[in-house]
Structure 1
Amino acid sequence: MDSRQGWMKTWGVAVSAAALVVVSGCCSLDKPAAAPVAKAAPAAKAAPVFAPSTGCPVVGRDGANIVTRQAIPTGAEASSVMLLEKSAPAEVAVGQEFAYTIKATNLTPCELDEVVITDTIPQGIAYKSSTPNGVQAGNVMTWDLGSIPGRGSKTITLKAAATGTGEYTNCVRASYKEKLCLTIKAVEPKLTLDKVAPAEVMVCDIIPIKLTVKNPGTGPATGVVVTDTLPAGLKTADGKTEVRFDVGTLNAGESKEFTLNAMAAKTGSYVNKAVATANAGLTDDATATTVVKQPVLTIAKTATEMVYEGRPVTYSVTVTNKGDAVAANTVVTDTLPAGVQFVSATDNGAVVGNVITWNVGNLAPAASKTFGITGKAVAQGRHCNKAEAKATCAEPVAATACTEIKGVAALLLEVIDVADPIEVNGQETYVITVTNQGTAVDTNIKIVATLEDTQSYVSSSGATVGTASGKTVTFAALPALAPKAKAEWRVVVKAVKAGDIRFAVQLDSDVLDRPVNETESTHQY
């Protein structure tokens, strides 16, 4: 009930020297005429006996105690809110402390608030104490019991003593407040967004981005949308620059994850921001920064610029990482041209056919590695050597260096006399042989033979036509003499005087910087 109600119960206590019991109340049990009563032997305690309920307070007996009870407010427990019970000895002796109880029971399943019990102590009864403690104002005791839970009860125990003989009636009152409650739950949805992306990747790597949207509030967030707008230079695998996730409703405590893969077009630092929104103006954002790096290889190649056939050719290859990331799985190859034969390589270069390979592994930023190759020039001409370098996520690079392999002409001049010695007036034939022992063609080969005064010119023949002028025989120039080829000329002379003769021959060509001279001795007698 919303208003405070008061209810009263009474009981009577008789006090006499003969310990005569007299019970009185507004409603009571029928009792016999007063007469001396002999004490009976103690018997087993029986349940209290009450008169039928009439809506008024009901009085009963509980052994030596009288008990009065009242169902409030209707008088019937089935339709009432509180049951108030008071129990006290039917008879007490003057000056002897006795105890009585007041019990309030909540008959409903709901809580009763502000329960207050008051007990009026009659004249002739002296209050001693109570449990719990009450507040005394004159002869009125008050207990504020607070709340009594549904179907629960609270009991007050008082101690008092009679100061004189007689019958004493004291009354107890109870008041309470009923409440009608309606619980309304107030909820508040919230929105948080978390974004995770790698701090550093290579330009050829996929950038995995994970978005987690969560409702840490107490109510559902509706119309949730997550939008990730990629910065310039980043795109998804299918070329998008913005990705939208329609989440819908996100219940309290619920979270959802989304992933997307991005690729970077170039190196740099990319700041990527995503935004989550929902109805009722809910919003949150999250940012992740990814630094995109790349190894950048450069290669330099040198070679012997010119070499003669048969001589060594040397190559140098230098690979440098000018990028900002490690060049992983770096491999350098060098392909020898057909005119160069492999001899050796530094740093354990592996040779298969005419290809030398170095497995460098990791090449740190700003680091360089140089390799060397030695070959042999085996064919004339311009021969170019190509070196290549590649690494994970790096653009492959190549460099070429060329070598001019030349042949060299090496002319051998030989002069012999056929009939040495010879008699005066006899003839001697000199055979002149020029051999190209080199590896290149020699051109414009010229032979000039000189006779001494003791000899006279007879004839000449050979690779070219000879012309005699006095003691000198000059042969027309031979246009070319191939490597390993020979050319032969003959000069026939007549001995005109005895002596130790020297037949002289001079050789010249385009390759020779100065003539070659050869003599042949002949004894004439």
Structure 2
Amino acid sequence: MGPNLPRSRLTSLLVLMMLSTLALGACGPSANSRLVISQSTDAPSGSDHKGHLSPGSFTGITLSIRNTGAGPARGLTVEDLLPAGFHYYELTTLGGNAIRTATSEPAAQGNPAWGTWTIPAGNGNIVSALVISFRVQAAVKPGDYVNQVKLTTSTPSDIDQGNGAGLVVEPRPSLVLAVAAATGQVTTGSLATYVISVSNVGSAVAKSVAISVSLAPGFLYSSTTAYEGNSIRVSSIDPPANSLLPLWSSWDVPGAVNGGPGLLRLTFAARVLPAVAPGVYNLTAAVTSSKDVPAQTIGNTAPVAVGKSTRVPITMTVAPTAPYAPQNGTVTYVITVENDSTDAAQAVTVTDTLPQGFSFKSTNGIVINGKNAGSRLQPTAGSATPQWGPFIIPAGGFNGATLVITFTANVNGASLGPHPNVVSGNSSNAQITGGSDQSPVTITAT
């Protein structure tokens, strides 16, 4: 710049140089995010700092994703890489200060994935994080497992995977309790029939198993009509007639063999007193064992409608697709759940209590109002009480909304003659009455 350059021209050149410097700085690399993953589980921790649980049981996993970098993490999606044999069941909570920019939820099957978030950069003492808590069902095969996480972002980010959640499925008993009413509608003065099934999906014997029931007011225990399964009774304690709290004890229930669980099943009748008012009545059932098995209680289950005029908006039926089946053959069943109410039925689970000598083989189809649907509960082959869900059945109103499940069962060792099948259901906000098939399949020699 020469000495004769006008002062105004010199000032303009200096301003342009400063602006160019700022522009070049703005085009430089932006601050990156740094995502740090930590995991925890609800399963009781052992000395190895891993969660220990029984086969097929449910446990919670929590993922904490912290941004310790200087820039925000944008377009974040989270996929949990479940260990082999584990199944995602439900989301329990979302936390942290992450901003959700789009919503995607886990599919009915496969690894759960959630999106999409922006996690702001940490600011001083403020921790920026996304926290996801959810429940999974453990594998039935004992062994050591590790849960992992996969993150993707739309902006550059350093990712610290941390340590995966260690989970140990122990070779111990694991009991599954199911309760169903054999018919969904009864009248006062008659008998209500119930079926209680205890399956051991674990790999060890469950010892000294006892079953107890708390009947609805106005219902009194009458008699036990059948004991079934491959369990061994080690002591005989049966409920007295007219009991409000019947108790049966005790059995050793064997562990699963070749995918088929050990089974204890009892069928009993309760008398409905003449003074019982029309309505829907439930019971509560519990199962206990001597050790290694936590007590289980199922409340508000096996609903029964009393009175012919009682309107039950959500009903469930089951029927075989053919009247006859050969020994060592198969039977295909169709379960239909109809919602005639004006509210959607939430968190619906469906349980089929198969006859003695029958076992679950495969699910053929699940349809809600004509559209395919998925189930996060995946019945295992060989199960005596397959279960599906959770589902949302839309409000049906006058025309009704339906959930239809079609599945196949193996016939192994069932005696000749008719074999009733019993289906039941539960919901977080609705009463669902189940029942048995009106025309049971008949097993023939050929």
Structure with larger RCO (C-alpha < 8 A, sep 6+) = 2
Q: Which of the pair is proportionally richer in strand?
A: 1
TM-score exceeds 0.5: no
Rg bigger for which structure?
1
